[in-house]
Amino acid sequence: MSELHHIGLAGAAAGLRARRFSSVELAETFLKRIERNQETLNAFISVTRAQALSDAAAADRALAAGDGGALTGVPIAHKDLFCTRGVRTTCGSCILDNFVSPYDATVVAKLKHAGAVMLGKTNMDEFAMGSSNETSYYGTVRNPWDPRLVPGGSSGGSAAAVAARLVPGATATDTGGSIRQPAALCGITGLKPTYGRVSRYGMVAFASSLDQGGVLTVSAADAALMLREMAGFDPNDSTSVEREVPDYVALLGEPIAGLRVGLLKEFFDKGLDPGNERRVREALKVFESLGARLTEVSLPNLPLSVPVYYVVAPAECSSNLARFDGVRYGHRCEQPRDLQDLYRRSRGEGFGAEVKRRIMTGTYVLSAGYYDAYYLKAQRVRQLISADFTRAFASVDVLIGPTTPTPAFAIGAKTADPITMYLNDIYTIGANLAGLPAVSVPCGFVGKLPVGLQIVGPHFSEARLLTAAHAYQRATDWHTQVPEGYA
């Protein structure tokens, strides 16, 4: 059973049902890997060993009795911004260091209901604000392909954990690329669903009109299974959509011959690393060989997506993070002189530098005299970008391009200038602004570092994206590559 950690999410579910191994064995295998690699990778903020083993034992009893759901006994991890009842939920922030959630996020409850066993909570950029995992209060996560490099962010802990086979699947969230970019940098599969497909209830908000929960897994097939179990309408989230969840797993085998693929002209720009471009163009050849028809399309307003994002996301974040005031939960400064001192010091001490930067940016763009020029203007340009996508999807089924401009970069390389860091999300932000689903799959290497291929579809086309990604993964083996030392 030495290879148990390579089993994958769907493989684990099938193996458990066939009783080839027990949930306790599986949990123990992964827990040991988590603990052994924690110092090197720093992928987890909390490991819930005792609870995991007890849940796994319960899963084994259910399986023995012939009960259980689609994921009974399957180990997973949650990004530490999903609220987990009775378990510390930090969002990677000092301000929530001592926060124990009294409730489960809908995603957490749904995966629990499906039988999944949580092993722990993964590290992340503070409040999901970052593209490198360097803003976490709990320290930087390291890339399993090279510990000197970042894993991407903000879901860097989840991505590193899946890439290093510390867990077969993990939840993640994506506000501007926080699932797809670390998936690309860590060489795994990451799916950001359509806005409203997955409930945001219990996901600590960063930018409410952009945030969407999703999955990080080894393969598209695993992503299909996990998404099917966590998606769906939630009466607690007014922005979740009342729409049936297709059986993504059953639809995986659909042929993709005739799929109309749009090559996004704006994605092949001067910022794109030539190595990355080569891998992406090779992947497009694979799609052609599978029967896809390629055409070039242009989204003229897309280059403005990063400026739009850095107005809208900070604006929403400045308001969303106002609740962290040291009164009802979270960090409170010592000996406040008065109420204003309580607010200013609790927040000043509790938030890290990048979070403060974004709160201030957002405060500024919403303030009297600047609202029209920044916030309203950005929301108008957002409409233009969204319209560009709608126009493109009139003639193509999916858009394909790179996930990131470059492979993983060195820890510390982009911390001096926020703009340089922000530009890392240049290809991913558009999907968030328009609420579109998008998946990143590994498509080869530049040197020893993995490269991600991004597929974007119209609203609620997750099945199409997963089918295309799955077809690609049946024709290639990039997603099965494991970083050295984690085999």
Partner 1 sequence: MSGWETIIGLEIHAQLATRSKIFSGSATAYGAPPNAQANLVDLGYPGVLPVLNGEAVRMAVKLGLAIEARIAPTSVFARKNYFYPDLPKGYQISQYELPIVAGGALDIVLEDGKVKRVGITRAHLEEDAGKSLHEGLPGVTGVDLNRAGTPLVEIVSEPDLRSAKEAVAYMKKVHTLVRYLEICDGNMQEGSFRCDANVSVRKAGATKLGTRAEIKNLNSFRFVERAINYEVARQIDLLEGGGEVVQETRLYDPDKGETRSMRSKEEANDYRYFPDPDLLPVALDAAFIESVRATLPELPDQKAARFGSQYGLSAYDAGVLTASRELADYYEAVVRAAPADAKLAANWVMGELAAALNKESLEVTATRMTAERLAGLLKRICDQTISGKLAKEVFEAMWSGGADADAVIAERGLKQITDSAAIERAIDEVFSKNPGQLAEYRAGKDKLFGFFVGQVMKATGGKANPAQLNELLRKKLGG
Partner 2 sequence: MALTREQIESIAALARLELSAAEVPVYQDSLSRILDFVGALERADTASVAPMAHPLPGLSQRLRPDTVTEQDRHAEYQQNAPLTAAGLYLVPRVIE
Catalytic residues: 79, 154, 178
- The item of partner 1, partner 2, none sharing an interface with residue 315, based on CB under 5 to 8 Å by kind, is partner 1
Shortest distance in whole angstroms from residue 390 CB to partner 1: 19
Order the strands of the 44-47 sheet from edge to edge. Answer: 44-47, 117-122, 75-79, 169-174, 212-217, 189-192, 438-446, 449-456, 398-402, 260-264, 293-297
- The item of partner 1, partner 2, none sharing an interface with residue 83, based on CB under 5 to 8 Å by kind, is partner 1
Of 30-38, 113-121, 342-350, 469-477: span binding partner 2 (CB under 8 A): 342-350
Of 71-79, 109-117, 327-335, 403-411: span binding partner 2 (CB under 8 A): 327-335
Dist CA 236 CA 28 (whole Å): 35
- The item of partner 2, partner 1, none sharing an interface with residue 133, based on CB under 5 to 8 Å by kind, is none
Chain positions 266 to 325 lying near partner 1, rule: CB under 8 A, are: 315-316, 318-319, 321-325
Q: Is 433 in the site for partner 1 (CB under 8 A)?
A: no
Of 160-168, 205-213, 270-278, 397-405: span binding partner 1 (CB under 8 A): 205-213
Chain positions 354 to 393 lying near partner 1, rule: CB under 8 A, are: 363, 366-368, 371, 375
Q: Is 235 in the site for partner 2 (CB under 8 A)?
A: yes
Burial class (CB in 10 A: 0-12, 13-18, 19+), 21: middle
**Phi, then psi, of 203 in degrees rounded to 5:** -95, 120
Shortest distance in whole angstroms from residue 360 CB to partner 1: 12
Q: Which residue has the tokens 């989230």?
A: 237
How big is the site for partner 2, counted in residues (CB under 8 A)? 75
**8 A C-beta contact, residue 439 and residue 465:** yes
Shortest distance in whole angstroms from residue 201 CB to partner 1: 5
Of 4-12, 199-207, 217-225, 257-265: span binding partner 1 (CB under 8 A): 199-207
Q: What is the DSSP letter of 376?
A: I
Shortest distance in whole angstroms from residue 256 CB to partner 1: 34
Shortest distance in whole angstroms from residue 484 CB to partner 2: 37
Long-range contact pairs involving 413-416 (C-beta distance under 8 Å, separation at least 24): 414/131, 414/132, 415/132, 415/134
Q: What is the DSSP letter of 446?
A: E
Shortest distance in whole angstroms from residue 301 CB to partner 1: 21
Q: Which among 414, 452, 398, 407 has a CA at the least distance from the CA of 143? A: 407
Dist CA 475 CA 255 (whole Å): 13
β pairing state of 44-47 and 117-122: antiparallel
Q: Is 339 in the site for partner 2 (CB under 8 A)?
A: yes
Q: Which among 291, 285, 278, 302 has a CA at the least distance from the CA of 385? A: 302
Q: Which among 143, 147, 243 has a CA at the least distance from the CA of 184? A: 143
Chain positions 298 to 317 lying near partner 2, rule: CB under 8 A, are: 301, 304, 306-308, 310-311
Identify the residue among 3, 39, 244, 417 touching partner 2 (CB under 8 A): 417
Of 60-68, 142-150, 196-204, 253-261: span binding partner 1 (CB under 8 A): 196-204
Sign of the torsion angle spanned by Cα atoms 94, 98, 100, 101: negative
Shortest distance in whole angstroms from residue 174 CB to partner 2: 12
Q: Is 200 in the site for partner 1 (CB under 8 A)?
A: yes
Q: What Rg, from alpha-carbon coordinates, does the chain have?
A: 21
Q: Which residues bind partner 1 (CB under 8 A)?
A: 81-83, 89, 91, 96, 99, 101-103, 105, 200-205, 207-209, 235-239, 315-316, 318-319, 321-325, 327-329, 339-340, 343, 363, 366-368, 371, 375
